[in-house]
Amino acid sequence: MVSTMEAMALGTSKNTVYLSSLDPGIGKTSAVTIFIQQLIASPSHKSVSVMVCAKRLDEVKRLVNDLQVDSGDIAVFTSDPEINALGRSEVRNARVLITTHQMVSTRCRNQSFVETTSFHYLGNPREVRVWDEEMLPGDMITLDTDQLRALPILFRSSFPSFSDFVGQLADDLFSQVKGDEFEIPDVQLETGVDLSAALGMLPCGQEERHRATVEALYAMAGKAVRLSAGNGRVVTALDIRDALPKDFAPILVLDASGRVRYTYEAWEKGPGGLTRLKDAPKSYENLNISVLERGGGKSAWNNNGDKYVSAMAGLINAKPEEEWLVVYHLSALNGKLPRELKSRIEVNPSRVKMVNWGAHQGRNDFASISNVILAGTLFYPVHIYEGLAYMTSGIPTSHRLPERLLTNIRLGEHMNLILQGLCRGSVRRSIGGSCKPCEAYLIAWKGSRIRKCLPKVFPGCKIKTWKALRTPSRGKVAKAITILRAFHQEAPEASLLFSDMMGQLGITDRANFNRTIRKHPAFIEAMADCGAFEDCVAGGRHKDAFSFTFAPDPEATYFRDI
């Protein structure tokens, strides 16, 4: 990283995007801040300037504080005047400029970096450029039928032709086959209303809500776009455009997820122009991850929220003196998850810290917490994965995506979220080449393949099964489970006849045994634990016994997928 920034300062670097994918907590940001301090102090580099691009405004403030350079050497250029006041007002006369991804994308749209003078230093483009967190070579434009259907009533009195056009377009999109191409008619040509007029007629108070929809409509005008299935019955039109100017390289990208996100690999294989810097592998041998293989998305929370909260509270109450971090869906339990969970904490609820997905990245204030729960994971709409695949692979939207590419992109985004989520806790810190000890708990649907990806995300970690949602067993069901487990311990190679278990339970009616024991959820879970299955051992046509697939291992702490 330091050699790359030095080459930029000397003008000897390649014209490429340099990717540093060092794991969280290794010291990427520290290396950048120390380099900048040394650069400013160097008498030989007085004409060399720096530009650091952060994703969020809170990160901008953190960077300003971390740099600890003279206020006359730094400028802040964002959409927030209060944050801009942290630096000098003359942006083009400051050696160091801190700005945001969004500001770069907006200011550089439809022009080169050389032409974007607002980022210059003393009339020239800044030599050392750093991009914090993920970078994408393109920008995704989306337009869905629900967004379009919200517009006609807003323009009916002022621009009736525009109102009719938008309503008809929504109907046309909805009638198309998902996955097909569709040409968006030229809205200005059809209605005589240009973009500035349409934006100017948005009702007061509704500008921000509908601005992106109107801008997307004009950006797609006259283009063939790809149709994707959205959430529910929504149809989404998808297009890709350049996000950054071609001459923005060389630039150093700091993305800890660079080794697990497939977007960068697609970028390398497709458009090219990306160079990976050396890795510094980190061991996660001190990380234990217990996985609850249940749906972790928003719909699963709507169906199983109370059970999930009880399971999480049980974990937290078992360690009454320790701090916990919970990363959760903001919409879970209609936004009431933090309140519901803390109401079930028996000792000092304030020791449980909550952060929602979307606000989790770039935060270091929980790095001392060694108990972390990822209360479900984010799953994006299909068109998001498709957009990432198109923009990084360079495949035009006129072509269908290879299914394997789309699968890899989806898995890469899962791994990115898991890495970023868990690394808010003590995992991000290091002891030598290993992470600090951490106990993590993850709710993840088995079909998502997240559990199988964990060894790649956290090399050396230990993966267990979190069996938190067991169905309570009482009475004869509990006794049947005890009989099954005892038989498995004593004679794992033999089979336990249904009639023998019925005799021990005092059940004489086979139909009653089938209904109350064999089909009970708790008994079925106990069978899975023992590796038991229903078998036919007496030579008849019907199953009459429980057999076992493997013997018990007294040293085992979890079941491993074979």
Q: What is the pLDDT of residue 159?
A: 92
Report, as an integer, the average pLDDT of 184-198. 94
Q: What is the pLDDT of residue 277?
A: 96
Distance from the first to the final alpha carbon of the chain? 40
Is the same domain home to 258 and 292?
no
In a domain, residue 553? The reply is no
Confidence band of 232 (pLDDT split at 50, 70, 90): low
**CA nearest 409: which of 383, 382, 388, 394?**
388
Is the same domain home to 302 and 381?
yes
Q: Where are the beta strands (DSSP E) in 293-435?
A: 324-328, 352-356, 371-375, 430-431, 434-435
What separation in angstroms does the CA of 164 have from each of 168, 209, 212, 230? 6, 20, 19, 23
Model pLDDT for residues 425-457, shown as the tens digit of each residue: 999 998 888 999 999 999 988 778 899 999 999
| Burial category of 350 from C-beta neighbours within 10 Å (exposed 0-12, middle 13-18, buried 19 and up) | exposed
- The CA distance from 114 to 136, in Å, is 20
- The CA distance from 104 to 244, in Å, is 8
Instruction: State the Cα torsion 110-112-115-117 to the nearest 10°.
Output: 90
Q: How far is CA 357 from the centre of its chain?
A: 8
Is the same domain home to 338 and 414?
yes
CATH number, domain of 117, equals: 3.40.50.300
Q: What is the pLDDT of residue 345?
A: 92
Model pLDDT for residues 261-316, shown as the tens digit of each residue: 999 999 999 999 999 999 888 999 999 999 998 887 777 787 778 888 988 998 99
- Among 465, 488, 520, give the residue marking a domain's end: 465
471 has a pLDDT exceeding 60: no
Confidence band of 414 (pLDDT split at 50, 70, 90): very high
Is the same domain home to 355 and 434?
yes
Confidence band of 557 (pLDDT split at 50, 70, 90): very low
The residue with greater pLDDT, 294 or 210, is: 210
Q: What is the pLDDT of residue 302?
A: 75
Confidence band of 556 (pLDDT split at 50, 70, 90): very low
In a domain, residue 388? The reply is yes
Model pLDDT for residues 345-393, shown as the tens digit of each residue: 989 999 999 999 887 665 678 999 999 999 988 888 889 999 999 999 9
Q: What is the pLDDT of residue 16?
A: 96
Confidence band of 529 (pLDDT split at 50, 70, 90): low
Q: What is the pLDDT of residue 358?
A: 81
What tokens does 306 get?
Answer: 């109370």
Is the same domain home to 149 and 210?
yes
Q: What is the pLDDT of residue 560?
A: 39
In a domain, residue 562? The reply is no
- The CA distance from 129 to 183, in Å, is 38
In a domain, residue 250? The reply is yes
Report, as an integer, the average pLDDT of 184-206. 90
* Count: domains in the chain: 4
- The CA distance from 44 to 52, in Å, is 21
Q: What is the pLDDT of residue 472?
A: 61
**CA nearest 374: which of 457, 259, 291?**
291
What tokens does 428 get?
Answer: 């991000």
Is the same domain home to 121 and 261?
yes
Domain hosting residue 492, numbered range: 475-548
The residue with greater pLDDT, 72 or 562, is: 72
Is the same domain home to 268 and 384?
no
Angle between helices 382-393 and 262-269 (to 10 degrees): 40
Report, as an integer, the average pLDDT of 111-138. 94
Q: How many other CB atoms sit within 10 Å of the CB of residue 239?
A: 21
Is the same domain home to 106 and 221?
no
Q: What is the pLDDT of residue 361?
A: 64
In a domain, residue 554? The reply is no
Mean model confidence pLDDT for the chain: 89
For the ranges 54-58, 241-245, 264-268, which has the lowest average pLDDT? 241-245
**CA nearest 423: which of 327, 300, 525?**
327
Is the same domain home to 326 and 430?
yes
Is the same domain home to 295 and 409?
yes
In a domain, residue 63? The reply is yes
pTM of the model: 0.79
In a domain, residue 470? The reply is no
Q: What is the pLDDT of residue 318?
A: 87
Is the same domain home to 6 and 43?
yes
In a domain, residue 181? The reply is yes
Is the same domain home to 67 and 159?
no
